[in-house]
Amino acid sequence: MQAVPSQARERRRKNRDSSLTDQQRSLPLPTVALVGNPNSGKTTLFNALTGTHQKVANYPGVTVEEVSAEVEIGETTLKFTDLPGLYSLDPATEDEAVAVGVLRGDFGSRPDLLVCVVDANNLERNLYLVGELLEQGAPLIVALTMTDVAAREGVQVDPHALASELGVDVIPVTAHRKGGARPILEAIERWLETRADHMVVSTCDTQEMQHYTEAISQALARIGIDALRSEIRAAVLDPGTSLRGAEEFPEVDALLQQAREAAAREEFHETAAATRYEWANRIATNVTRREAKRTLSITDRIDRILVHRVGGLLVFLAVMYFVFQSIYTLAAPLMTLIEDGFAWVGSAVSGWLEPWPLAQSAIVDGLIAGLAAMFVFLPQILILFFFIAFLEGTGYLARAAFLMDRLLGWCGLNGRAFIPLLSSFACAVPGIMAARVMPDARSRLATILVAPLMSCSARLPVYVLLIGAFIEPQFGPTVAGITLFGMHLLGLVVAIPVVLVLNRAIFKAHRLPFLLELPAYQWPKWRDVLLTMYMRGKVFVSVAGRIIVTMSILVWALLYFPRSDEDFARFRSEYEQLPARTQALISEDAYLEQRQAENSLLGRFGKAIEPIFIPAGFDWRITMGILAAFPAREVIVPTLGIIFNLGSDVDEGSRDLRSSLQAATWPDGSRLITPWTAVGLMVFFALCCQCMATLATVRRETNGWKWPVFMFTYMSVLAYLGAVAVHQLELAFS
């Protein structure tokens, strides 16, 4: 028996759905939840069961992803959910709290069946969670994974003996092999025939505590509350924990008080965990056979090098250099191909729509440009997540986080933050998405909020243009190189106090000890690596992509309107009245484009807020370039080309654009852009969040607009203050 292929499944579902009533269609699908410790092989099994038919969303009200898929087994369609990894039902992180919330029905109905994934190589620790699940009484199947890894370490687990000890089915699986998940599907099909619960098993309760737990459960059932036994135990052991408001009922409150008194007499709080570990140790000892081994395991021998304080750091630097050099090398030609492809499409569509100028501009400069701005990020995202999934699959990513924890810990982040921050030097979008490697919500959010401060590749055209026009000609290539390095370093330096302020003033979080499991080394599953690439790319295109395209069309409209024949007639008349020498330098099309930009809504807004930017040394032209660049930083280069009568077909290496910027003046004849002004403008771009793709991605990752707005605001304020500070220093020294 196996899951039905997708095409056949769709045909059968349509045939079946056509015979269902509306009431039958509205019934929720039976849910199978995969639960287990981190690094237990849970996601690999989920991928083997569901393939690419996965849906990714956030659980309501939190930033934790819900990954689910529908799978048809026989005539029944089931919803499979991959819960976040957890070590026990006493959650320590937001991810674990969400997993426990799903188990007790906080996000809908409880799962109908639990598949607890157990790592054979770490059986005793994994059995602690199994014991807690057995106490809940819900239907349970144990999937025994990593048996091949355990065998290499000389560990043999008897699944039949384990099933006898636990009283539930124990199914050995090798999910990374073809057909390896079939035994689990067969076990689920057997459960579908009976839908039977299992007997409630107590792994740590005394007889008196069992009595009170059962009595409270029955009292809650009488008032319509279906609570997990772990919820009842938490309310007994911690008087501050609410039992869904049931304490207001006298019968429940009286039983809770009696149970708390009994727990205090027996010192249950101190002994419960130890008793459950003794239970797990006894079972693991009974079902496991270990070969006597005199030598270190393969993992231990490799770790002597990879987690060494010197050798490990050198290997880490080499690995990171290879990863990001590969991202740059492999992504660059693909990004160029995408840009050229969309440019060709835009040119072709422009020719077809030439009789309809409004439609031509809206589709070419708005829609197609927005699609190009979205898809151009895909190569970096896909390649980055290929390496993240590959390194995580081998087990090396955990070692890298361990090595980096000491460097990042003093400012409130932990070692896992190095991947998102380092990724953001190429592009903040994949860097923010990579923050999912962070173990808890606060660390993840702090990392997301400072990731855009890393100097991404989109800032480089601005640096090259301004350094080439104002720094190198006056101070030489050495100072130009130092300036470029300083701009890349600035964001990293500013990120340190920002993280400290976020953790201490906003999150009010104290840094917890960094606890990290170092899994055994193994060859990654290519199916999982490629599926991770596919799902991350799909999420970016489907969620962030919509916002990017929408914002691109909005900015196009602000630059395009208002537009009328009368305005163009007036602009042409102005051009014809220019001196012949000026007309020889500026084409009519470039002049009309510049005057339309100045007359547009964005141009008018730039002039209106010019007084705000005067303290930074920026006039309305620079201000308009900044405004146009908010969707994407690099847009300032063609925008400045339009403003300075050169047209939009210019790049950062354009000599004409550099000359125009050097010659630009204030109304009193003084230079508009000095080396100080250029540095101030670069500081503004280094610190400001001018990237709609970044904001869209943060919105996706944080499940709302609160944190994108906060990030945009604080970075804009920092950028403005930085630019003002540079200009005021110029005034002071001059």
**C-alpha to C-alpha distance for 148 and 121, rounded to whole angstroms:** 9
Question: Do the bridges between strand 54-58 and strand 140-145 make them parallel or antiparallel, or are there none, so unpaired?
Answer: unpaired
Give the chain's domain count.
3
The Cα angle at residue 283 between residues 268 and 259, in degrees rounded to 5 = 20
Whole-angstrom CA distances from 34 to 41, 72, 100, 207, 276 are 10, 16, 12, 31, 22
Tell me the residue type at 87. Answer: Y
| Residue 614 exposed, middle or buried by CB count within 10 Å (0-12, 13-18, 19+) | middle
pLDDT at 658 over 60: yes
Is there a single domain that holds both residue 574 and residue 723? yes
pLDDT digits (tens, 9 = 90+) for 69-89: 888 887 888 999 999 888 888
Please check whether residue 221 lies inside any domain of the structure: yes
pLDDT at 201: 63
Q: Does residue 162 sit in the same domain as residue 220?
A: no
- Answer yes or no: is 706 within a domain: yes
Cα–Cα nearest to 618, from 679, 673, 688 = 673
* Residue 42 scores a pLDDT above 80: yes
Mean pLDDT for 109-124 is 91
Specify the DSSP element, H or E, that contains 142: strand 140-145
Where does 288-439 have alpha helices with state H?
298-306, 311-352, 357-361, 369-375, 378-394, 396-409, 418-424, 428-434
Do 80 and 228 lie in a common domain? no
Q: Are residues 672 and 700 in the same domain?
A: yes
Last residue of a domain, one of 268, 288, 317: 268
Highest mean pLDDT among 127-141, 291-305, 515-529: 127-141
Contact 46, 34 (CB under 8 A): yes
Q: Would the pLDDT of 20 be above 50?
A: no
Helix (H, G, I), strand (E, B) or coil at 140: strand
pLDDT at 715 (0 to 100):
96
Please, what sign has the CA dihedral across residues 275, 276, 280, 281? negative
Domain range for 256: 207-268
Question: Which tokens sit at 526?
Answer: 């290519």
Helices (H), ranges, 541-672: 545-560, 565-576, 580-585, 588-599, 601-608, 610-613, 620-628, 636-643, 655-663
Q: Find, among 247, 256, 172, the residue nearest to 209 by Cα.
A: 256
Looking at the structure, do residues 116 and 153 belong to the same domain, yes or no? yes
Task: Calculate mean pLDDT across residues 173-195.
Answer: 82
Q: How far apart are CA 667 and CA 620, in angstroms?
A: 12
Share of the chain above pLDDT 70, in %: 83
CB 514 within 8 A of CB 409: yes
Domain assignment of residue 712, yes or no: yes
Please indicate, yes or no, whether residues 159 and 256 belong to a single structural domain of this protein.
no
Give how far Cα 655 sits from Cα of 25, 470, 572, 658, Å: 66, 12, 27, 5
Is residue 407 pLDDT above 80, yes or no? Answer: no
Confidence category of residue 524, pLDDT binned at 50, 70, 90: confident
Domain stops at, among 216, 235, 268: 268
Banded model confidence at residue 1, pLDDT cuts 50, 70, 90: very low
The more confident residue out of 578 and 653 is 578
Query: Rounded distance, CA 479 to CA 138, Å?
Result: 68
Alpha carbon distance 258, 540 (integer Å): 53
Q: Which range is least confidently modeled, 123-132, 421-430, 557-566, 717-726?
A: 421-430
What mean pLDDT is predicted for residues 123-129?
Answer: 92
Instruction: Compute the average pLDDT of residues 523-543.
Output: 81
Q: Which residues contact 382 (CB under 8 A, 6 or more apart)?
A: 533, 536, 537
At 9 the pLDDT is 47
The whole-number average pLDDT for the span 30-34 is 92
Quick one: 226 and 127 in the same domain? Answer: no
Say yes or no: 139 and 231 in one domain: no
More confident residue, 255 or 594: 255
Residues 6+ apart with CB under 8 A from 303: 399, 518
The answer to whether position 403 is within a domain reads: no
Q: Which of 194, 215, 238 is the last residue of a domain?
A: 194
- Residue 614's pLDDT is 94
Q: Per the domain annotation, does 200 fall within a domain?
A: no
Residues 618 and 556 in one domain: yes
Contacts of 732 (CB under 8 A, 6+ apart): none
Q: Residue 390 has which token pair?
A: 């590959």
Instruction: Kindly tell me if the per-residue pLDDT of 15 is higher than 60.
Output: no
680-696 pLDDT, tens digit per residue, is 999 999 999 988 889 98
Matching residue, tokens 């040119």: 347
Residues 222 and 157 placed together within one structural domain of the fold: no
Helix (H) or strand (E) holding 364: none
Q: What is the DSSP secondary structure assignment for residue 435, as one 8-state letter?
A: G
Tokens of 444: 């993840």
pLDDT digits 0-9 by tens, 215-271 = 888 888 887 777 777 677 767 766 656 666 666 777 877 887 777 777 666 656 556
- Domain membership of residue 449 (yes or no) is no
Q: Which two tokens stand for residue 258?
A: 């009696």
Query: 568 exposed, middle or buried (CB, 10 Å; 0-12, 13-18, 19+)?
Result: middle
**In the beta sheet, which residues pair with residue 665?**
671
Of 328-337, 432-441, 457-466, 475-484, where does the model show the most confidence?
475-484
Distances, alpha carbon 592 to alpha carbons 360, 377, 600, 636, in Å:
17, 33, 12, 19
pLDDT at res. 25: 46
**Distance (Å, whole) CA 663 – CA 282:** 83
**Do residues 189 and 229 both lie within one domain?**
no
* 404 assigned to some structural domain: no
Mean of the per-residue pLDDT values for the chain? 81
The one-letter amino acid code at 383 reads I
8 A C-beta contact, residue 414 and residue 401: yes
The reply to whether 582 and 605 lie within a common domain is yes
What CATH number is associated with residue 82?
A: 3.40.50.300
Confidence of residue 714 (pLDDT cuts 50, 70, 90): very high
* pLDDT, tens digit, 9 for 90 and up, residues 303-342: 889 888 888 889 988 887 888 778 767 887 888 898 899 8
Q: What is the pLDDT of residue 172?
A: 93
What count of other Cβ atoms lies within 10 Å of the Cβ of residue 366? 20
Average pLDDT over residues 153-176: 88
Structure-token match 């005539």, residue found: 75
pLDDT category at 6 given cuts 50, 70, 90 is very low
**Selection from 627, 651, 623, 626 nearest residue 637 by Cα:** 651
Give the residue from 8, 14, 49, 63 showing the smallest Cα distance to 697. Answer: 63
Give the pLDDT score at 267. 59
Query: Distance between terminal CA atoms of the chain?
Result: 82
Residue 698 belongs to a domain: yes
